[in-house]
Structure 1
Amino acid sequence: MTALRFLVAESETPEDRERRRESVGRSSGETYLDTLRAIVPEAVCELVRPAEEGAAAPGVEALREQDGVFLTGSPLHVYEDTPEVRRQLRFMRDVFRSGTPSFGSCAGLQVATAAAGGRVRENRRGHEAAFARRITATEAGREHPLLAGRPAAWDALAIHTDEVERLPEGGTVLAGNGVSAVQAAEIRHEGGTFWGVQYHPELPLDEVAAALRRQAKDLMEQGLARDEAAVDAQASLIEALHREPERRDLAWRLGVDRQVTCAAQRQVELRNFIEHLVRPVHRARGRA
């Protein structure tokens, strides 16, 4: 059997990438690679940065050689007409045209939405920081393989300021919550299929803690914390739970359960994407 080939598309700016590396030692794409290799150790994984000027983004034919394309989170706002956003959207349109299954976390969902003709905006109900709470599947989502294994309601790691306002034609809302109506979706566009979530199934808890510290001023402006000490206290609890995920007292203080504390449960959408979409297409293309 031919090994699965995964392409991770990172859209951090060089400055944001270095800030992230300073706090957690990895860029968003490098974290994604680590998670995918843990799920499918034999997979051949590659990292590209299609939003960067001068970067060699693969075209449609090269993308067809991949079995799955993964879009990371990003500080880019896809409703802003910048060269970086235009390059990222052009890449995503090529992904759709290639027919290779694709998956996106957080901004990855927003990129796919905008590339296919939907709309993204700043989150009208404020930021989600650390956790997206009480996510529930829609009627379509309850039967969709992306969410297989999720309970009736669940929490997930999340940190975002933008949201999907309207999915494009060919889009289906699979889950939402009180903050963002689109927390999970499928988009079918120009022969390609995308599954995505507004949260972060690829992240470990300590990286969310670090993100809180990096965005402390924004959290204070949003009224989510009174001062940096409050942000640091919350981040410290999350870091402690990362080190000792079986600590029930820490989970209780943070109000989370095994949907958050167990790595396999956090990653359920990634695992479902690989098993229910990537592997069947891999076989259909004669690579098994």
Structure 2
Amino acid sequence: MSTLSASSPMGRCTLVGAGPGDPELLTLKALKAIQAATVLLVDDLVSEAIVALASPGARLVAVGKRGGCQSTPQAFIEKLIVTNVLEGEQVVRLKGGDPFIFGRGGEEAEHLRAAGIEVEVVNGITAGLAGMTQLGAPLTHRDHAHGVIFITGHTRPGAQATDWQQLAATAHAARLTLVIYMGMKGVADIANGLLQGLPPATPVAVIQNASLPHQRHAIARLDELVTVVAQEGLGSPSVLVVGQVVRCAQSFAQWLDSADLDAARHQARAA
């Protein structure tokens, strides 16, 4: 592998979390990095509104990666970063959500540092947090959840599968919220496994396209999750949030309905 030498131009790489899609959820540090980049390697799930913030002279390279779909090989992405840094470019690897939460940011940082390349990481809001916030609910709550587990529903081929039964039992005993990414393809297996350790009435929120104008969601009992997903036509990219904190989202929805009704009554009286 090529490494930097004293005669090489001074390039740089920044792994930037683009958040769940809403550009207003970008950090100031992320915005500055995007605007300063001369080359941006952009993930498939980064919204067009965020990509549009790049400098007009920047070179944009699409390096889509999405579970269950044809993806740009990881080794090729890492080679692109190294090549551009060695050529003196200010490279931003723009990732949906946070680079260090299922964004392969750890792999890329290790690879680049091994090549002698300076790497900076800029965190972004992860979809599981943003999606629940949009529903007016937290991931932790003193009355409902003492912690949260972020886990992927999509494992590398040949890797040991997640023991959903054991995970569910742990979450139930410790009162933890489960936030499951990339789980829609295997939602039936996940639900069946979780039912071995969680009560059937455990509430689950399915949140698709978190934070974007076309965000959709559904709330279901765990034992009805697969049916509700099919009925609502929900698919990727979605997160599953499992646990009692989902009841806060239900309460928030009821409050909104009540507020809307009060507003309608007030308008009717005024008329």
Q: Same fold (TM over 0.5)?
A: no
Under a length normalisation based on structure 1, what TM-score does the superposition of the two structures give?
0.28
| Larger Rg computed on CA atoms | 2
- The structure with more helix, counted as a fraction of residues: 1
